[in-house]
C-alpha cells in the first residue's frame, strides 16, 4: 500500500485543479481524517485510501455550472490513474462510488462503510476552525461580501450564500454535523460545530448584532 500511496501523492500534486479551499493541504487533512475513521470502523483501507487521496483530482469552481459533476469526473480520472499504476482492480467499483458520493453538490448517498468514511472525512474538513478559514477563502476568491449589513445572520431574510459568505454557515456548514455517518465523525463533528457557533456569537458581539 505504501508504494501506491506515494504514487497517489505525486499524482495529486500535479493533476488536481486547486482553488482557494481545495489544495494539497486539504487532501492531506482529509487523508488524516479518513485514517482515523478507517481504524475506528475497521474499514477497507484499499478502498478508503485511494478514494481520499484522489477525491479532488478534478475540482470545478463553486460557481461552475457543472459543479455537481465534479466528483464523477474525479472518480473517472482516478480509476484511469489507478489502472496505470497497477492498483488491484477488484476495488475499483467501490473506489469510484466513494469518490462520487463524497461530494455535497452531487447529493448521492454513500452505499458502503468506506464511502461513508470518505464522505465524513471530507465534510469534517469543511467545519470547525479549518472550515471557517476555508469558507472565508472561498468567499474572498468569489468576491462575496462577508455579511449582509442589515441582517448578518439572515434572521428576517432568505439565506443568500451566493452574495454573502456568512450565509454559507446557515446554508451548509452548520448542517453538516447532522449528515455525518460514523460514530467517530459524529463525535468530532459536534466539537467542530460547537466551535463554529462560538465563532458566530463572537462575531455578532464584535459587529454589534445579537444572534438569537
**Topology of domain 127-211, CATH:** Methane Monooxygenase Hydroxylase; Chain G, domain 1 (1.20.58)
The reply to whether CATH 3.40.50.620 applies to domain 1-107 is: no
Q: Measure the CA–CA gap between 190 and 209, rounded to whole angstroms.
A: 25
167, 154 in Cβ contact below 8 A?
yes
Q: Measure the CA–CA gap between 173 and 196, rounded to whole angstroms.
A: 9
Per-residue pLDDT tens digits of the chain, which is 212 residues long:
788 999 999 999 887 766 777 889 999 999 999 999 999 999 999 999 999 999 998 877 666 656 667 889 999 999 999 999 999 999 999 999 999 999 888 889 999 999 999 999 999 999 999 999 999 999 998 899 999 999 999 999 999 999 999 999 999 999 999 999 999 999 999 999 999 999 999 999 999 998 76
Q: φ, ψ for residue 23 (rounded to 5)?
A: -130, -175
Q: What is the pLDDT of residue 44?
A: 97
106, 139 in Cβ contact below 8 A?
no
Q: What is the pLDDT of residue 17?
A: 65
18 exposure class (CB count in 10 Å sphere: 0-12, 13-18, 19+): middle
C-beta neighbour count of 14 within 10 angstroms: 7
Locate the domains of the chain by residue range.
1-107, 127-211
Amino acid at each position: 500500500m505504501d508504494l501506491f500511496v506515494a504514487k497517489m501523492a505525486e499524482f495529486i500534486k500535479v493533476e488536481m485543479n486547486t482553488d482557494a479551499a481545495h489544495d494539497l493541504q486539504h487532501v492531506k487533512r482529509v487523508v488524516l481524517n479518513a485514517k482515523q475513521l478507517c481504524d475506528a470502523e475497521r474499514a477497507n483501507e484499499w478502498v478508503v485510501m485511494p478514494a481520499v487521496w484522489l477525491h479532488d483530482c478534478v475540482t470545478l469552481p463553486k460557481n461552475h455550472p457543472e459543479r455537481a459533476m465534479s466528483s464523477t469526473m474525479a472518480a473517472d480520472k482516478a480509476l484511469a490513474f489507478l489502472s496505470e499504476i497497477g492498483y488491484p482492480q477488484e476495488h475499483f467499483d467501490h473506489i469510484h462510488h466513494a469518490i462520487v458520493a463524497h461530494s455535497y453538490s452531487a447529493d448521492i448517498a454513500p452505499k458502503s462503510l468506506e464511502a461513508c468514511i470518505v464522505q465524513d472525512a471530507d465534510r469534517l474538513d469543511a467545519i470547525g476552525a479549518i472550515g471557517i478559514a476555508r469558507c472565508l477563502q472561498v468567499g474572498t476568491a468569489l468576491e462575496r461580501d462577508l455579511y449582509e449589513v442589515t441582517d448578518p445572520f439572515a434572521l428576517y431574510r432568505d439565506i443568500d450564500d451566493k452574495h454573502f459568505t456568512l450565509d454559507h454557515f446557515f446554508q451548509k456548514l452548520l448542517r453538516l454535523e447532522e449528515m455525518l455517518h460514523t460514530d467517530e465523525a459524529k463525535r468530532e463533528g459536534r466539537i467542530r460545530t460547537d466551535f463554529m457557533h462560538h465563532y458566530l456569537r463572537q462575531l455578532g458581539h464584535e459587529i454589534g448584532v445579537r444572534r438569537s
